[in-house]
Chain A
Amino acid sequence: MPTRQRATQPDGATQPDGATQPAHAARTSQAARASQAATAKAQRQRPPEQYRSDDDPRIMLDREVGADLFEPIPPYPVRTEREAEFYTRGDGEMFLNVGPHHPATHGVLRLVLKLSGEQVVDVDPVLGYLHRGVEKICENSDYYHVIDQVDPLEYVSSLFQEWAAVLAFEQLMDVEVPPRAEYIRVLTSELLRVSSHTLFMGFLALDLGGLAPILYSFIERDEIVEMLAALTGARMLFNYFRIGGVNGDLNHEFLSRLGDWMSRAAKQTEANTGLLNENEIFVRRARGVGILDREMALRFGVTGGNLRASGVPFDVRRAHPYSVYPQLDFNVPTRLEGDSLARYLIRMDEVRESIRIIDQCLHNMPDGPVMAKLPRLLRPRPGRAWGAVEGPRGMLGVYAISDGSDQPFRFRIHDPSFLNLAVVPYLLPGNLLADTMAIVSSLDPVLGGIDK
């Protein structure tokens, strides 16, 4: 690398309008654009006092320290009836900001709690700290690109998100996926479901104070992730599914690692969960906390383990079968109590079911191609499609509209944790501060998917 000195004066080439003005030449062609730039410049000078965003660091400087440092969180006037009702404090009540930088929020979730003493009176979840505008990016990228844009959404189990997107696109392009690819998809996704539920168990125990379960679950997860890295090439954001199949066929390294993991999978899960299932402290903290009854669960649109813990046996793999699930024999564990303990036990049953599914996949894995024949440039005919998949946290849906060009016209992502978290303002009031963590982590929200 040739060593460089920093050039003293800006670039030497002849600049049409003087070298000093760094910003690029203002667009003269459209008056509208110019006026917009002018308003933008004006707005940037001094944002209106009353509407300054709370994330603006200057807010701390010019406000003297004192009682109002505890003033209600939004510095802007109240806009909706719910916000008015929440941000008026009764006597003896205080606002407590749990998050966005807090050890127990799964990602960057901010819960504004209205506490009286240790008892939670009301909750207002504030989202958007992890919002990357994935839907906007997907509208500007071609169909292959969308798949790896969708991975970081539910980063703990990203294959499911890919599967939903791929399902929708295959419907748009009427692509026939070869059976071996379908079985590989089921195999890898169920593996990821096991690792995601193991992590759930670890984080639930961590939020309740136990140190050991989280480390045992990470050992378990690391094995599974190493195995998937041998197959797909990535540890977390796999980018493995393609429209019409999968990226690579099963190789020896993946199968051998899967083999010795399967030999001790059941015993290891029993041992890890044994630490929590009968532990009196854990059970006392999880039982009867955050009870979500059947009716409210349905009205909130909660899906996945949280819904099945409230007695509704809705599992997309059975309710609306896709891929090769009809040929696989597994049952959908359901419980009736609907409290945190039920949600935890449901997920442990699902891990056993997944291990059964993986076993069946391995036994009757057909051979043949893993990828359907597709043109290099994908331009599906205009139309709309909805692909839904049963992720570890609930139903993952993708609603894709194509307008015939090589970029999707609208790419809507439905994340289960989004509605699972919407239950929190209904479940938390009345519980103690310590229970907020138990309930929130039993719902297992992943903020990547919520904030999109």
Chain B
Amino acid sequence: MTFATRTWDRMSLTSRLVAILVPLALILAVGSVVGILVILPATMDFLRANLPLVRFAVAVVGILVLTIPTAFVLIYLELKIIARMNLRVGPNRIGPWGAAMSLIHGFKVLSKEDFTPTGADLPVFTLAPVVTFLASVMTLLVIPFAPGLFGQDLNIGLLYFFAMGGLSVLGLLMAGWASFNKYSLLGGLRAAAQIVSYEIPLTLSVVGVVILAGTMSMNRLVLAQSGSALDWFAFKQPLAVLIFFIAATAEANRTPFDMTEADSEIVAGFATEYSGMRFGFFFFAEYVNVFIVSALLATLFFGGWTAPFNWPWPYNLNWLDASGIGVLWIPIAIIATVVVADVVAVAVRLVGGRSWSAPSAFGLGFLAAGVGIAAVVGLACFIAFDWVQGIFWFMTKTYVFVFTFVWMRGTLPRVRVDQLMGFAWKWLLPASLLNLFVTATAVVLLNQ
């Protein structure tokens, strides 16, 4: 028993607290002073020196962080929508209206043991989900969510997108081959055949849009469609939209083309032997794929973040910038919430009579105030900032298409493998070539 431990045993609780907190406070004080004076300026000018690199790093991290909640939201949406379509209620026990269900799915998948079957060759087996997940997530880099808000505005954004999309097939093949199970092998080979044969009509149908817009950068593609809804490429390229939609469902392995995970034929396809977080990666990759494909559909053909009609009232007013009374908004918002909360609480007590106890009335008031203020602030931002509008329009369009994908999953049976292939080569490919030919001639003649 060293001297320290002996004294420590004798000290009372409060003296122990003091013994810990005081040195801690000292260190913090000294550290912050040194940091502000010395370290901060050094990092600032380092950042200012290579701003684009930092921007890229932040974007990648942002996207990686963004995909998990998107996947959760999509899983929850799918559970609820398909259930409601089948006259059932869907998860409603965990969280409000079952909202925490997909979160729980995530934890469950995290806590499960990811078992490796005997005979599977380990490196390929463990890397397969990583390849699939990263390939789908990396494609989010180029998608313009709002006017200023995108990962990286590559001038060959579309080409990058299809390249990354193609990589996820590699993951499926690796999974199929490595899990030493005949069902997975069949699933993997089906995935390869399906996505390869649907990649071509997918890309060809987009070339029409590229011809019209003249650029491959996603941002400028959206700008080319700004103005009212009539300028969207969907109305200029109706056949391309259809081909893209069908090819995109096959790309994301969604019903009616979910041959890779056809649970009634080849158990769970390439993911048969996967369990635990490895299966979680495949599971999330599938839903991120759905999000990407609908985002792309919205961006390329339905004018990403542009509003469907010309905004009548002025926007982009910068009420909220720091110089003006912007800064004052914050205290005003806080005071307003408190005032509104009290008013509502008193009203409820008067109206509700004895049944409402004080705390619950005040709670209700606070809730009402919160919602009210959020609405007001949201509207203000919506009017003030253009990127808030951009996000709103982009998200509504994307989630409309997500709804259609989920809707198709709830209704349609599965197509057979050879019908799938026949449809791609005999119908989609010629149609996309025709569409390409027609667009090209139209552009040449019109430019005359």
Contacts and interface: CB of A to CB of B under 8 A. Distances in A.
Query: Do A's and B's CB atoms come within 8 Å in the complex?
Result: yes
Interface of A: 65-66, 69, 94, 96-97, 102-104, 118, 205-212, 215-216, 219, 275-276, 279, 281-282, 284-285, 432-437
Given A118-B186, A216-B87, A206 B119 contact: no
Contact of B119 (A69, A215, A284, A433): A69
A434 B265 contact: yes
A208 B264 contact: yes
Contact of B264 (A219, A279, A432, A437): A437
B411 A212 contact: yes
B413 A281 contact: yes
B262 A275 contact: no
Q: Which of A104, A208, A285 has the most CB of B within 10 A?
A: A208
Contact of A104 (B265, B413, B418): B265
A126 B336 CA distance: 75
B116 to A, nearest CB: 12
Contact of B87 (A219, A282, A434): A219
B417 A118 contact: yes
Contacts of A210: 411-414
Contacts of B87: 215-216, 219
B interface bracket (residues with beta carbon within 8 Å of A): 20 to 34
B411 A206 contact: no
Contact of A209 (B82, B86, B186, B258): B258
A103 B264 contact: yes
Interface string B364-382: 0000000000000000000
Nearest to A431: B416
A60 B411 CA distance: 41
Contacts of A212: 85-86, 410-411
A353 to B, nearest CB: 26
Contacts of B266: 433
B86 to A, nearest CB: 4
Contacts of A219: 87
Contacts of B151: none
Contacts of A284: 415-416, 419
Contacts of B417: 118, 432, 434
A434 B262 contact: yes
Given A284-B419, A434-B416, A211 B262 contact: no
B409 interface: yes
Nearest to B415: A281
Given A215-B88, A434-B417, A435-B416, A209 B411 contact: no
Interface of B: 82, 85-88, 118-119, 182-183, 186, 255-256, 258-259, 262-267, 409-419
5 contacts: A65-B118, A96-B182, A285-B413, A434-B265, A437-B264
A279 B412 contact: yes
Nearest to B411: A212
Contacts of A435: 416
Nearest to A219: B87
Contacts of B416: 284-285, 432, 434-435
A84 to B, nearest CB: 23
Contacts of A436: 265
Contacts of B256: 209, 281
A437 B265 contact: yes
Contacts of B259: 434
A65 B416 CA distance: 34
A207 B86 contact: no
Given A96-B182, A103-B263, A65 B258 contact: no
A205 B258 CA distance: 15
Nearest to B255: A209
A433 B256 CA distance: 17
B27 to A, nearest CB: 57
B262 A209 contact: yes
A282 B413 contact: yes
Q: Which of B119, B267, B414 has the most CB of A within 10 A?
A: B414
A382 to B, nearest CB: 50
A281 B412 CA distance: 8
A384 to B, nearest CB: 43
B271 to A, nearest CB: 14
Contacts of B412: 209-210, 279, 281
Contacts of A96: 182-183, 186
A219 B88 CA distance: 10
Contacts of A216: 86-87
Contacts of A94: 182
A211 B419 CA distance: 20
Given A209-B258, A216-B87, A284-B416, 15 more contacts: A69-B119, A96-B186, A103-B264, A103-B267, A104-B264, A118-B186, A208-B264, A209-B255, A209-B256, A209-B413, A211-B82, A212-B411, A285-B419, A432-B417, A433-B266
A433 B414 CA distance: 13
Contacts of B258: 209
B89 to A, nearest CB: 12
Contact of B418 (A205, A279, A432): A432
Contacts of B419: 284-285
A94 to B, nearest CB: 7
B290 to A, nearest CB: 16
B264 A433 contact: no
B415 to A, nearest CB: 6
**Closest 6 A-B residue pairs measured CB to CB?**
A209-B414, A215-B86, A210-B413, A208-B413, A104-B264, A209-B413
Given A279-B412, A437-B265, A65 B86 contact: no
Contacts of A215: 86-88
Contacts of A102: 267
Given A209-B256, A216-B86, A281-B256, A433 B413 contact: no
Contacts of A97: 182
A94 B182 CA distance: 9
A281 to B, nearest CB: 5
Nearest to A208: B413
A433 B265 contact: yes
Contact of A281 (B183, B410, B414): B414
A118 B417 CA distance: 9
Contacts of A276: 413
B119 A65 contact: yes
A210 B355 CA distance: 50
Nearest to A70: B182
Contact of B86 (A104, A208, A211): A211
Nearest to B268: A103
B121 to A, nearest CB: 12
A434 B265 CA distance: 6
A444 B86 CA distance: 23
B264 A207 contact: yes
A435 B417 CA distance: 10
A208 B82 contact: no
A276 B85 CA distance: 16
Nearest to A284: B419
A388 B178 CA distance: 53
Q: Which of A97, A118, A437 has the most CB of B within 10 A?
A: A118
Nearest to B418: A432
A78 to B, nearest CB: 22
A65 B116 CA distance: 14
Contacts of B255: 209
Contacts of B119: 65-66, 69
A96 B256 CA distance: 25
Q: Which of B82, B255, B411 has the most CB of A within 10 A?
A: B411
Given A215-B87, A279-B413, A433 B186 contact: yes
A97 B266 CA distance: 10
A205 B412 CA distance: 9
Nearest to B256: A281
Contacts of B413: 205, 208-210, 276, 279, 281-282, 285
B86 A275 contact: no
A279 B88 CA distance: 23
Q: Which of A97, A211, A215 has the most CB of B within 10 A?
A: A211
Q: Which of B263, B409, B413, B418 has the most CB of A within 10 A?
A: B413
Q: Which of B82, B85, B259, B262 has the most CB of A within 10 A?
A: B262
